[in-house]
Amino acid sequence: MKSYQADELDEKTVYKLLSGSIVPRPIAWVTSQNSDGLVNVAPFSFFNVASANPPLLSISFTGNKDSLNNLLTTKEAVVHLVNEDNVELMNQTAAPLAKHISEAKEFSLELVPSQKVQVPSLKESKVRLETKLYHHLPLGENGHLVLLEVVNFSFADELLDEENFHVNLTKLKPVGRLAGDDYSTLGNRFSLLRPR
C-alpha cells in the first residue's frame, strides 16, 4: 500500500485524497439568505446526515463563503437534494458570483416559500430539508463544520410512500459527487441482511 502522513501533505493534496476516495458523496444544494433578504444558492459535497435524534445534517465549508456567513447571521438554511433532473442547474450555481448577485435570479431558479423557516426553497428540488443552525465549529485556519437541525421535511408526492415512509429511489434519481468534474447516479443495487 502507498501510505502518507496527513500532516506532511499540503491542503490541496489532502482534499484530492479525501474527495477522490470517499465517493459517492451526497450533495447539499443550499439556499440561505443574508440580512437584506438576498438569496444565495450553492452546492456542497462535504455533507451528510449526522444524527436521527435530533435530526441533524453536517456540512463543512472552507473559507467564509456567502452561505456560511448567511447561516451564521440568520441561523437558517434549506438543504435540497440533487437528482438527475436538477444536477445541471446545481452545477451552474457553483459559479463564482459577486456578493450582490443571487444565483436564484442569475440562473432563473424558482423560489417558493418554505414551511418553517424564512429562507425560501427551490421549486426545482424534489426533497427539501428546512434547517436551523444547531452548532458551528471552526476548524483549523479557515474551515468550518456546521450541524443543521431539520425542522421540516418536504418530499414530492411521487417520492414518498406515506404508509411506511419509504422513499422511492427510482423516482428520486439521486446524483452523487465524485472527484474533479465527475458525478454518479445509482448503479447496480443489492441487499444484504443485517446480522441479528
Residue 9 lies inside a defined structural domain of this protein: no
CATH number at residue 48: 2.30.110.10
Q: What angle do CA 75, 47, 64 make, to 5 degrees?
A: 50
Asked whether residue 6 is assigned to any structural domain, the reply reads no
Does the pLDDT at position 189 exceed 90? no
In a domain? residue 168: yes
40 close to 31: Cβ distance less than 8 angstroms: yes
Query: Quick check: is 148 in a domain?
Result: yes
Q: What pLDDT is recorded for position 64?
A: 80
Q: Give the number of domains in the chain.
A: 1
What pLDDT is recorded for position 94? Answer: 94
Please check whether residue 17 lies inside any domain of the structure: no
Q: Considering the domain boundaries, does residue 146 fall inside one?
A: yes
pLDDT at 153: 97
Q: Note the helical H segments in the chain.
A: 11-21, 66-74, 87-92, 103-106, 169-172
Q: The pTM is what?
A: 0.93
Count of CB atoms situated within 10 Å of the CB of 167? 14
Write down the pLDDT at residue 192: 83
Residue 73 and residue 34: Cα distance in Å, rounded?
A: 7
Query: What proportion of the chain, given as a percentage, has pLDDT over 70?
Result: 100
Question: pLDDT value at position 132?
Answer: 98
pLDDT digits (tens, 9 = 90+) for 67-124: 999 999 999 999 999 999 999 999 999 999 998 999 999 999 999 999 999 999 999 9
Is residue 63 very low, low, confident or very high in pLDDT (cuts 50, 70, 90)?
Answer: confident
In this structure, of 45-54, 149-158, 161-170, the range with the lowest mean pLDDT score is 161-170
Q: How confident is the model at residue 5 (pLDDT cuts 50, 70, 90)?
A: very high
What is the average pLDDT value for the chain, to the nearest integer?
Answer: 94
Domain of 100 in residue numbering reads as 27-182
Domain-located, residue 8 = no
Q: And the C-alpha cell for 21?
A: 476516495
- The pLDDT tens digits for 27-43 are 999 999 999 999 999 99
How many of the other CB atoms lie within 10 Å of CB of 98?
6
Q: Which amino acid is at 116?
A: K
pLDDT of residue 191: 83
Q: Cell numbers of 113, please?
A: 416559500
